[in-house]
């Protein structure tokens, strides 16, 4: 007879399943408005411009993300998760947000399990129900905390969520092994989580340290016993640092964002981190005025200016050390927070000194310390404070997530809070240009250039905004400056060529188009721009060849085949023109201009009936006096003068002064 499984531990009548349901409900309320939020900042490089996620096979490509200092650089597991997203729904943002929220919930579930089991095993609570209450309150407050939005709503920071999940899973598996009659399976799961974690984010390197300290403090009692009992297990964990080192070295210093390329000395970076760490602590306690991006032009503090923050950090480190000696779980939680922050918040300088998403997992450790202390003091009366706090945090997350709905909104919020942030000013300007608000973009890009001159991307974006705002002369000067800073930028070469073409500088324009084509022969817009200018200067045969190459490189682009067909028609190569224009129409059946030009080519080829059909189809989509008139002439040739007159009259209703239509009516003579 089988022994029935015991029911999940109740807590004042609330079972574990209800805690998990409460976490799901809280997360859905806090993040319900994020599923349509735009991709922003590094999301473009990680998803929209990342060729390695376009297919799942062969795996070598997807496991080798691009080396540009992006959130996927050196993190193959994170890149793989985006590849699965792309395979399911392309670049539809909803799927990416759904997966990020799912990862957030899995972290919350695992956090609940880790805290609950750690408290019971360390005998820090009188009843298992007390452990569930502390774990439930911790997970609820954490899942609703506005500071978490930086790791959830900002899609490319899935690396933060996945790395945190593997840290929590390793801790959970370790704790389960301590109470299992067959611990090897759970120990193996902890090792697997550790090894997978290094493929998600580098702070997973803290797992071996955390498990070793937990073993020493709460299980084995001494380092000798740790080695005697589970030495092989801990060696297997530490061995995960080898693939981590390989990943970091193989990404060329993570695209130049790690030590040595930050612009800070170790001492300067340490001073910055004194300020950053205390700021992070404040945000956990009072999460207002959250900032999406602190930028790279942060003012360098002096030692005297950060002395108060340094004193706070020293006091906290002393308290943690004392707590570890006393085998305090709160001290261990603080150690976990420090271990996760160590790769980015120590003396090792990296390019971006501050980012709020780095507090994603450390905040959980700090929240459990506060909740545990409160429960110890007030017991179940704690909920009189936790309940309203949970509501306030959820409301804060809803409000913060509203900032993420559009890229312009998010960068506007960032600039409002940090107007001296050059990168924020530049990105706001670029996003305003992207939605054709060029005049508004100019002052922000000008300010970004003033704050941090010498950044080629800012120079290029500034030039584009000036160009489309009608300040073409200034734009050309800024394009030249951008090319001085980054001579190989094909996009800048192309935009400069476009601007020169519009000012009539045909010879120089052709020279820049030619340079762009030589630098990027597979870039179709460069061929199109060069062909357009060659056509303007009468070099028709050369233009046709470049239009043909653009069409070959962009076989799904109707515009490319339209351009080719138009050039071939001008060269009176009518059979080739008809073929190209038919392809343009096949790709875009409502392409009225292509249908009209196809009709013209057919008419010149004396295929009058086909021409009339093409003109009629064009008029279905776009009434135009020229098309009506050409259809009228085709109908004259077919022998349908009354229908032809109707077409000429339709052309004159659209444009009473259109001379070819009047001539057509004149040739038909008076109405019989």
Lowest mean pLDDT among 202-216, 240-254, 383-397, 435-449: 240-254
* pLDDT averaged over every residue in the chain: 90
pLDDT at 61: 81
What is the pLDDT confidence band of residue 355, given thresholds at 50, 70 and 90? very high
CA angle 355, 360, 362 (to 5 degrees): 105
Identify which has the larger pLDDT, 131 or 14.
Answer: 131
Residue 255 scores a pLDDT above 60: no
Whether the Cβ atoms of residue 141 and residue 199 lie closer than 8 Å to each other: no
pLDDT at 108: 97
Residue 483 scores a pLDDT above 80: yes
Q: How many other C-beta atoms are found inside a 10 Å radius of the C-beta of residue 89? A: 12
Identify which has the larger pLDDT, 242 or 258.
Answer: 242
Q: What's the pTM? A: 0.86
What is the pLDDT confidence band of residue 4, given thresholds at 50, 70 and 90? very low
Contacts of 606 (CB under 8 A, 6+ apart): none
Residue 57 scores a pLDDT above 50: yes
pLDDT at 6: 42
pLDDT at 130: 84
Q: What are the distances in angstroms from CA 634 to CA 285, 614, 618, 619, 640?
A: 78, 11, 14, 14, 9
Contacts of 223 (CB under 8 A, 6+ apart): 216
Q: Please report, in angstroms and rounded to a whole number, the separation of the first and last CA atoms in the chain.
A: 106
What is the pLDDT confidence band of residue 280, given thresholds at 50, 70 and 90? very high
Instruction: In whole angstroms, give the CA distance from residue 392 to residue 26.
Output: 12
Share of the chain above pLDDT 90, in %: 74
What is the pLDDT confidence band of residue 589, given thresholds at 50, 70 and 90? very high
Residue 404 scores a pLDDT above 60: yes
**Residue range 661-672: mean pLDDT, rounded:** 78
pLDDT at 13: 39
**CB-count burial class (<10 Å; 0-12, 13-18, 19+) for 520:** middle
Instruction: In whole angstroms, give the CA distance from residue 561 to residue 586.
Output: 10
3-state DSSP: the chain helix, strand, coil percent, rounded to 5?
75, 0, 25
**Residue range 559-585: mean pLDDT, rounded:** 95
pLDDT at 588: 96
pLDDT, one tens digit per residue, over 21-53 is 999 999 999 999 999 999 999 899 889 988 888
Lowest mean pLDDT among 8-17, 249-258, 307-316: 8-17
Residue 3 scores a pLDDT above 50: no
Nearest to 444 by CA among 469, 427, 463: 427
Q: What are the distances in angstroms from CA 382 to CA 370, 372, 373?
A: 11, 10, 10
The token duo for 462 is 């500034």
pLDDT at 637: 92
pLDDT at 256: 53
Whether the Cβ atoms of residue 257 and residue 69 lie closer than 8 Å to each other: yes
**Residue range 429-442: mean pLDDT, rounded:** 95
Question: Domain 406-487 is classified in which CATH homologous superfamily?
Answer: Tetratricopeptide repeat domain (1.25.40.10)
Domains of the chain, residue spans: 16-401, 406-487
pLDDT, one tens digit per residue, over 312-329 is 999 999 999 999 999 898
Altogether, the residues listed in the chain come to a count of 672
Residue 8 scores a pLDDT above 60: no
The token duo for 366 is 């700090």
**Residue range 49-72: mean pLDDT, rounded:** 83
């Amino acid at each position: 007879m089988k022994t029935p499984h015991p029911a999940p531990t109740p807590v004042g009548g609330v079972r574990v399943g209800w805690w998990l349901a409460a976490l799901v409900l809280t997360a859905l309320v806090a993040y319900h408005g994020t599923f349509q939020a735009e991709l922003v900042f590094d999301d473009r490089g990680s998803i929209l411009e990342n060729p390695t996620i376009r297919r799942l096979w062969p795996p070598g490509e997807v496991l080798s993300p691009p080396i540009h200092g992006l959130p996927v650089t050196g993190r193959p597991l994170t890149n793989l998760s985006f590849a699965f997203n792309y395979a399911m729904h392309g670049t539809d943002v909803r799927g990416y947000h759904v997966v990020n929220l799912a990862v957030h919930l899995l972290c919350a579930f695992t956090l609940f399990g880790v805290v609950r089991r750690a408290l019971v095993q360390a005998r820090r609570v009188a009843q298992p129900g007390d452990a569930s209450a502390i774990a439930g309150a911790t997970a609820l407050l954490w899942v609703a905390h506005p500071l978490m939005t930086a790791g959830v709503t900002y899609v490319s920071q899935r690396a933060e969520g996945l790395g945190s999940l593997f840290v929590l899973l390793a801790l959970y598996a370790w704790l389960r092994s301590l109470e299992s009659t067959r611990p090897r399976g759970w120990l193996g799961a902890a090792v697997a989580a550790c090894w997978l974690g290094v493929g998600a984010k580098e702070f997973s390197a803290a797992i071996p340290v955390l498990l070793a300290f937990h073993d020493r403090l709460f299980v084995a009692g001494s380092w000798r016993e740790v080695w005697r009992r589970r030495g092989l297990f801990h060696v297997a964990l530490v061995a995960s640092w080898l693939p981590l080192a390989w990943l970091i070295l193989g990404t060329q210093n993570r695209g130049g964002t790690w030590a040595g390329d930050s612009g800070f000395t170790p001492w300067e970076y340490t001073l910055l981190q004194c300020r950053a760490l205390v700021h992070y602590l404040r945000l956990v306690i009072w999460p207002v005025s959250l900032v999406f991006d602190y930028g790279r032009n942060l003012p360098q503090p002096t030692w005297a200016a950060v002395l108060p923050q340094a004193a706070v950090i020293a006091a906290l480190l002393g308290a943690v050390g004392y707590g570890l000696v006393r085998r305090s779980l709160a001290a261990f939680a603080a150690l976990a927070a420090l271990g996760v922050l160590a790769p980015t918040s120590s003396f090792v300088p990296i390019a971006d000194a501050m980012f709020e998403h780095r507090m994603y997992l450390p905040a959980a450790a700090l929240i459990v310390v506060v909740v545990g202390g409160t429960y110890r003091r007030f017991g179940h009366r704690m909920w009189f404070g936790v309940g309203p706090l949970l509501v306030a945090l959820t409301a804060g997350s809803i409000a913060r997530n509203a900032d993420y709905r559009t890229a312009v909104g998010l960068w506007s919020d960032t600039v409002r809070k940090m107007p001296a942030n050059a990168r924020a000013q530049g990105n706001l300007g670029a996003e305003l240009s992207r939605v054709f608000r060029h005049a508004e973009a100019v002052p922000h890009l000008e300010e970004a250039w003033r704050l941090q001159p010498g950044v080629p991307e800012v120079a290029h974006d500034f030039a584009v905004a000036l160009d489309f705002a009608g300040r073409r002369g200034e734009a050309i000067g800024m394009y030249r400056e951008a090319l001085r800073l980054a001579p190989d930028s094909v996009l800048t070469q192309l935009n400069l060529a476009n601007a020169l073409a519009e000012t009539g500088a045909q010879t120089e324009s052709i020279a820049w188009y030619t340079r762009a084509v030589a630098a990027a022969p597979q870039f179709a817009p460069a061929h199109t721009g060069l062909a357009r200018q060659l056509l303007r200067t009468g070099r028709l045969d050369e233009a046709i060849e470049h239009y043909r190459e653009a069409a070959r490189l962009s076989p799904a682009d109707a515009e490319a085949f339209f351009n080719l067909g138009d050039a071939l028609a001008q060269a009176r190569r009518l059979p080739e023109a008809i073929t190209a224009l038919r392809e343009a129409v096949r790709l875009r059946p409502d392409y009225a201009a292509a249908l009209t030009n196809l009709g013209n080519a057919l008419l010149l080829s004396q295929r009058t009936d086909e021409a009339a059909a093409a003109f009629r189809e064009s008029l279905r989509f776009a009434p135009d006096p020229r098309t009506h008139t050409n259809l009228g002439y085709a109908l004259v040739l077919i022998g349908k003068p009354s229908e032809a007159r109707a077409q000429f009259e339709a052309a004159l209703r659209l444009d009473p002064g259109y001379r070819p239509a009047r001539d057509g009516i004149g040739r038909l003579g008076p109405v019989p």
